[in-house]
Amino acid sequence: MNILLISALVAAALVLLLLLLKKKTSAEKVSPVSSPEDEAAPLPESSSQPVADEQPVADEAEEVSVAGKGEKAEAVEAVEAPAEPEEIPEPEPEPVAEPEPEPVAEVEEPAVQERATEDARPEEPVVTLSIESYEQRLLDLKDRQLAALSEAIEKNEESRRERLQVELVALTESLTSLEQSYAHETACRHKARQVLDQMRAELDPVEYEQAAA
Protein backbone atom coordinates (compact mmCIF):
# COMPACT_ATOMS: atom_id res chain seq x y z
CA MET A 1 0.00 0.00 0.00
CA ASN A 2 2.82 2.48 0.80
CA ILE A 3 4.39 1.85 -2.59
CA LEU A 4 1.09 2.65 -4.33
CA LEU A 5 0.70 5.92 -2.39
CA ILE A 6 4.25 6.93 -3.19
CA SER A 7 3.71 6.17 -6.87
CA ALA A 8 0.50 8.27 -6.85
CA LEU A 9 2.32 11.20 -5.23
CA VAL A 10 5.15 10.94 -7.73
CA ALA A 11 2.61 10.95 -10.58
CA ALA A 12 0.92 14.08 -9.16
CA ALA A 13 4.30 15.80 -8.85
CA LEU A 14 5.09 14.95 -12.46
CA VAL A 15 1.74 16.41 -13.54
CA LEU A 16 2.50 19.64 -11.68
CA LEU A 17 5.95 19.82 -13.29
CA LEU A 18 4.41 19.35 -16.71
CA LEU A 19 1.94 22.16 -16.03
CA LEU A 20 4.71 24.49 -14.91
CA LEU A 21 6.81 23.63 -17.97
CA LYS A 22 3.91 24.29 -20.29
CA LYS A 23 3.25 27.64 -18.63
CA LYS A 24 6.88 28.61 -19.09
CA THR A 25 6.88 27.60 -22.73
CA SER A 26 3.67 29.51 -23.34
CA ALA A 27 5.15 32.62 -21.66
CA GLU A 28 8.28 32.40 -23.82
CA LYS A 29 6.19 32.24 -26.98
CA VAL A 30 4.59 35.62 -26.17
CA SER A 31 6.33 38.55 -27.96
CA PRO A 32 8.27 41.20 -26.01
CA VAL A 33 6.24 44.04 -24.53
CA SER A 34 6.34 47.15 -26.75
CA SER A 35 3.47 49.01 -25.33
CA PRO A 36 0.79 48.68 -22.76
CA GLU A 37 -1.72 47.96 -25.46
CA ASP A 38 0.31 45.13 -26.87
CA GLU A 39 0.68 43.70 -23.42
CA ALA A 40 -3.04 43.89 -22.83
CA ALA A 41 -3.96 42.25 -26.10
CA PRO A 42 -2.30 38.88 -25.79
CA LEU A 43 -3.55 38.35 -22.25
CA PRO A 44 -6.77 36.64 -23.27
CA GLU A 45 -4.82 34.38 -25.66
CA SER A 46 -2.38 33.39 -22.94
CA SER A 47 -5.20 32.80 -20.51
CA SER A 48 -7.18 30.77 -23.01
CA GLN A 49 -4.24 28.73 -24.28
CA PRO A 50 -3.29 27.17 -20.94
CA VAL A 51 -6.89 26.16 -20.39
CA ALA A 52 -6.83 24.23 -23.61
CA ASP A 53 -3.51 22.71 -22.70
CA GLU A 54 -4.72 21.72 -19.23
CA GLN A 55 -7.23 19.19 -20.56
CA PRO A 56 -4.67 16.55 -21.64
CA VAL A 57 -2.84 17.10 -18.34
CA ALA A 58 -6.07 16.42 -16.46
CA ASP A 59 -6.63 13.37 -18.64
CA GLU A 60 -3.14 12.15 -17.84
CA ALA A 61 -3.79 12.69 -14.11
CA GLU A 62 -7.02 10.74 -14.37
CA GLU A 63 -5.21 7.94 -16.23
CA VAL A 64 -2.49 7.91 -13.56
CA SER A 65 -5.09 7.80 -10.78
CA VAL A 66 -7.02 5.05 -12.58
CA ALA A 67 -3.80 3.12 -13.12
CA GLY A 68 -2.94 3.62 -9.45
CA LYS A 69 -6.38 2.36 -8.42
CA GLY A 70 -5.98 -0.62 -10.74
CA GLU A 71 -2.61 -1.43 -9.23
CA LYS A 72 -4.09 -1.06 -5.74
CA ALA A 73 -6.94 -3.40 -6.63
CA GLU A 74 -4.54 -5.93 -8.11
CA ALA A 75 -2.33 -5.70 -5.03
CA VAL A 76 -5.36 -6.13 -2.73
CA GLU A 77 -6.54 -9.12 -4.77
CA ALA A 78 -3.06 -10.59 -4.65
CA VAL A 79 -2.98 -10.15 -0.86
CA GLU A 80 -6.54 -11.41 -0.29
CA ALA A 81 -6.22 -14.43 -2.57
CA PRO A 82 -4.69 -17.14 -0.35
CA ALA A 83 -1.97 -19.12 -1.93
CA GLU A 84 -3.08 -22.66 -2.53
CA PRO A 85 -0.92 -25.06 -0.54
CA GLU A 86 1.13 -27.35 -2.62
CA GLU A 87 0.13 -30.95 -2.33
CA ILE A 88 2.92 -32.89 -0.67
CA PRO A 89 2.98 -36.47 -1.84
CA GLU A 90 2.59 -38.83 1.08
CA PRO A 91 5.42 -41.33 1.40
CA GLU A 92 4.34 -44.83 0.63
CA PRO A 93 4.65 -47.11 3.68
CA GLU A 94 7.46 -49.57 3.35
CA PRO A 95 6.40 -53.21 3.60
CA VAL A 96 7.26 -54.58 7.02
CA ALA A 97 8.64 -58.09 6.95
CA GLU A 98 6.90 -60.28 9.50
CA PRO A 99 9.33 -62.17 11.75
CA GLU A 100 9.32 -65.86 11.12
CA PRO A 101 8.27 -67.89 14.17
CA GLU A 102 11.14 -69.74 15.76
CA PRO A 103 10.74 -73.49 16.02
CA VAL A 104 9.81 -74.43 19.55
CA ALA A 105 11.65 -77.43 20.84
CA GLU A 106 9.35 -79.93 22.41
CA VAL A 107 10.19 -80.37 26.06
CA GLU A 108 9.27 -83.64 27.62
CA GLU A 109 7.65 -83.49 30.99
CA PRO A 110 9.84 -84.66 33.87
CA ALA A 111 7.31 -87.35 34.79
CA VAL A 112 7.53 -88.80 31.29
CA GLN A 113 11.34 -88.71 31.41
CA GLU A 114 11.38 -90.46 34.78
CA ARG A 115 9.09 -93.15 33.46
CA ALA A 116 11.33 -93.65 30.45
CA THR A 117 14.41 -94.01 32.66
CA GLU A 118 12.59 -96.41 34.95
CA ASP A 119 11.52 -98.52 31.97
CA ALA A 120 15.08 -98.55 30.65
CA ARG A 121 16.51 -99.87 33.91
CA PRO A 122 17.07 -103.61 33.96
CA GLU A 123 14.92 -105.51 36.35
CA GLU A 124 16.83 -106.37 39.50
CA PRO A 125 16.40 -109.87 40.81
CA VAL A 126 14.26 -110.06 43.91
CA VAL A 127 16.33 -111.25 46.86
CA THR A 128 14.37 -113.35 49.30
CA LEU A 129 15.69 -113.99 52.76
CA SER A 130 14.63 -116.66 55.11
CA ILE A 131 13.41 -115.77 58.56
CA GLU A 132 16.61 -117.06 60.08
CA SER A 133 18.80 -114.86 57.81
CA TYR A 134 16.68 -111.78 58.45
CA GLU A 135 16.80 -112.39 62.20
CA GLN A 136 20.58 -112.73 62.10
CA ARG A 137 20.94 -109.41 60.26
CA LEU A 138 18.80 -107.65 62.82
CA LEU A 139 20.89 -109.12 65.63
CA ASP A 140 24.14 -107.91 64.00
CA LEU A 141 22.69 -104.43 63.57
CA LYS A 142 21.60 -104.41 67.21
CA ASP A 143 25.12 -105.27 68.34
CA ARG A 144 26.60 -102.40 66.28
CA GLN A 145 24.04 -99.96 67.67
CA LEU A 146 24.83 -101.04 71.24
CA ALA A 147 28.55 -100.44 70.65
CA ALA A 148 27.82 -96.98 69.21
CA LEU A 149 25.56 -96.19 72.16
CA SER A 150 28.31 -97.10 74.63
CA GLU A 151 30.74 -94.81 72.76
CA ALA A 152 28.23 -91.93 72.78
CA ILE A 153 27.72 -92.34 76.53
CA GLU A 154 31.48 -92.24 77.16
CA LYS A 155 31.87 -89.06 75.06
CA ASN A 156 28.76 -87.42 76.57
CA GLU A 157 27.14 -86.98 73.15
CA GLU A 158 23.56 -86.48 74.23
CA SER A 159 21.96 -86.07 70.79
CA ARG A 160 23.68 -89.12 69.37
CA ARG A 161 22.88 -91.16 72.48
CA GLU A 162 19.17 -90.30 72.24
CA ARG A 163 19.07 -91.18 68.54
CA LEU A 164 20.77 -94.54 69.11
CA GLN A 165 18.45 -95.39 71.97
CA VAL A 166 15.40 -94.77 69.75
CA GLU A 167 16.89 -96.96 67.02
CA LEU A 168 17.66 -99.75 69.50
CA VAL A 169 14.08 -99.69 70.77
CA ALA A 170 12.81 -100.07 67.21
CA LEU A 171 15.24 -102.95 66.56
CA THR A 172 14.16 -104.74 69.73
CA GLU A 173 10.51 -104.45 68.74
CA SER A 174 11.29 -105.80 65.27
CA LEU A 175 13.15 -108.79 66.71
CA THR A 176 10.31 -109.50 69.12
CA SER A 177 7.77 -109.37 66.31
CA LEU A 178 9.98 -111.57 64.17
CA GLU A 179 10.36 -114.16 66.93
CA GLN A 180 6.63 -114.22 67.41
CA SER A 181 6.06 -114.58 63.68
CA TYR A 182 8.65 -117.30 63.51
CA ALA A 183 7.08 -119.20 66.38
CA HIS A 184 3.66 -118.83 64.81
CA GLU A 185 4.97 -119.99 61.47
CA THR A 186 6.71 -122.97 63.04
CA ALA A 187 3.54 -123.98 64.79
CA CYS A 188 1.55 -123.67 61.57
CA ARG A 189 4.10 -125.78 59.69
CA HIS A 190 4.03 -128.43 62.41
CA LYS A 191 0.25 -128.67 62.23
CA ALA A 192 0.31 -128.85 58.44
CA ARG A 193 2.87 -131.64 58.57
CA GLN A 194 0.71 -133.60 60.98
CA VAL A 195 -2.30 -133.29 58.69
CA LEU A 196 -0.17 -134.28 55.70
CA ASP A 197 1.07 -137.36 57.54
CA GLN A 198 -2.49 -138.36 58.28
CA MET A 199 -3.39 -138.07 54.57
CA ARG A 200 -0.26 -139.86 53.35
CA ALA A 201 -2.09 -143.13 52.71
CA GLU A 202 -4.61 -141.39 50.49
CA LEU A 203 -2.08 -139.30 48.50
CA ASP A 204 0.20 -140.32 45.67
CA PRO A 205 3.85 -140.55 46.74
CA VAL A 206 4.82 -137.80 44.28
CA GLU A 207 2.11 -135.47 45.55
CA TYR A 208 3.14 -136.19 49.14
CA GLU A 209 6.77 -135.29 48.47
CA GLN A 210 5.76 -132.02 46.76
CA ALA A 211 3.50 -131.03 49.66
CA ALA A 212 6.09 -131.92 52.27
CA ALA A 213 8.86 -129.94 50.55
Q: Cα(167)–Cα(145) distance, rounded to whole angstroms?
A: 8
The pLDDT value given to residue 116 = 52
Q: What is the CA radius of gyration of the chain?
A: 73
- Taking the C-alpha atoms of residue 185 and residue 164, their distance in angstroms, rounded to an integer, is 31
pLDDT at 206: 80
CB 151 within 8 A of CB 115: no
Q: Shortest CA distance to 46 belongs to which of 28, 70, 69, 72? A: 28
**What gap in Å lies between CA 191 and CA 183, rounded to an integer?**
12
Contact 11, 64 (CB under 8 A): yes
Q: What pLDDT, on the 0 to 100 scale, is given for residue 10?
A: 84
What is the per-residue pLDDT for 24?
77
pLDDT on residue 94: 64
Q: Do 11 and 68 contact (CB within 8 A), yes or no?
A: yes
Query: What pLDDT score was predicted for residue 208?
Result: 72
The pLDDT value given to residue 154: 92
Round to whole Å and give the CA distance between 21 and 53. 11
Amino acid found at 175: L
10-residue block means of pLDDT along the chain (213 residues)? 78 85 71 46 43 46 53 52 57 62 52 54 57 82 90 91 90 85 81 80 76 69
Q: Which of 72, 82, 80, 77 is nearest to 3 (CA)?
A: 72
DSSP label of 85: P
Report pLDDT for 52. Answer: 40
Note the pLDDT of residue 77. Answer: 54
Q: Which residue in 109, 110, 175 sits closest to 141, CA to CA?
A: 175
Rounded CA gap, 158 and 180, in Å?
33
The HSE-up count of residue 205 (CA atoms within 13 Å, CB side) is: 0
The answer to whether the pTM exceeds 0.85 is: no
Q: Please give the pLDDT value at position 175.
A: 85
- pLDDT for 58: 46
